[in-house]
């Protein structure tokens, strides 16, 4: 038996997240369909994370077990033949049988992308959140440092979250501007349901003056979802990197 680690990227616009659902099309379902055609069996594929409906991934890792001797490079070519244009495999390698794409992960990096132009841009609609009000990226970068550290982030997750442990460690949080785009990059040991989108929404409340400068730390420690900001829309969010 061999365990293959596949690295993919996908446009999440047409999917209700990664994980298989009974009544909605997902990335996992479509990927399993392609795997079945290549390996002549509906193999169990295990992903590194859940992603929400409409969220994208620049790097997403999946494992599958097979007895077939197909090479990693041919696996990439074969899967891409059957995958739709919005999902692509770009790496494959053999790993040990005890490797798990989720539990062996040391950290994840997410990027949230805002189009901060004055007028709506139809070419950005699926890949960035249009926010028309001016953003001072340097100011938000300073405020975002309040997130860095190990805290109970129960005030920064959706009520749909069903995890018992809500403590997470954020290693870095950077905000910067490139032309009309503002980027939010956060790296941590793990993230709760909607956590990054709520962090970004909270920083936008800071930008709007609804949350005062220096108040973020107290909001985090309060563990009160009502004190944090709105949940930013999904289309601006990318799972950018998974570190093992």
Nearest-angstrom CA–CA distance, 174 and 185: 5
Q: Which of 48, 236, 56 is nearest to 131 (CA)?
A: 236
> Angle formed by the axes of helices 72-82 and 27-39, to 10°?
120
Nearest-angstrom CA–CA distance, 99 and 87: 23
Q: Which long-range contacts (CB under 8 A, 24 or more apart) does 205-208 make?
A: 205/229, 205/230, 206/140, 206/143, 207/133, 207/135, 207/136, 207/139, 207/140, 208/133
Phi-psi region of 214 (alpha: psi -120 to 50; beta: other; left: phi over 0): left
Q: Which two tokens stand for residue 72?
A: 């990693």
Question: DSSP per residue over 81-134, as a string?
Answer: HHS-TTEEEEEEEEE-TT--TTTT--EEEEEEEEE--SS--GGGTTTSEE--S-
**Catalytic-role residue among 33, 52, 65, 224:** 52
Q: Are strands 2-10 and 56-66 parallel, antiparallel or unpaired?
A: antiparallel
Whether 138 is catalytic is: no
Query: What 3-state class would DSSP assign to 179?
Result: coil
Residue numbers annotated as active site: 52
């Amino acid at each position: 038996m061999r365990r293959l680690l596949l690295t993919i990227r996908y446009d999440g616009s047409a999917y209700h997240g990664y994980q298989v659902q009974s009544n909605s099309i997902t990335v996992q379902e479509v990927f399993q369909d392609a795997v079945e055609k290549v390996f002549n069996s509906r193999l169990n594929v295990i992903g590194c994370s859940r992603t929400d409906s409409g969220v994208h991934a620049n790097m997403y890792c999946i494992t599958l077990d097979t007895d077939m001797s197909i090479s990693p490079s041919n696996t990439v070519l074969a899967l891409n033949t059957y995958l739709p244009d919005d999902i692509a495999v770009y790496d494959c390698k053999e790993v040990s049988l005890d490797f798990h794409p989720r539990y062996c992960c040391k950290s994840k990096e997410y990027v949230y992308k805002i189009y901060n132009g004055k007028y709506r841009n139809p070419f950005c609609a699926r890949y960035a959140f249009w926010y028309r009000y001016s953003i001072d990226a340097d100011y938000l970068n300073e405020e975002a440092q309040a997130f860095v550290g190990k805290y109970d982030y129960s005030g920064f997750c959706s009520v749909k979250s069903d995890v018992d442990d809500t403590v997470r460690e954020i290693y870095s949080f950077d905000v910067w501007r490139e032309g009309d785009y503002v980027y939010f990059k956060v790296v941590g040991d793990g993230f709760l349901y909607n956590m990054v989108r709520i962090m970004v929404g909270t920083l936008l409340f800071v930008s709007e003056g609804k949350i005062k400068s220096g108040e973020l730390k107290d909001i985090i420690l309060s563990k009160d979802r009502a004190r944090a900001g709105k949940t930013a829309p999904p289309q601006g969010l990318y799972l950018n990197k998974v570190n093992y």
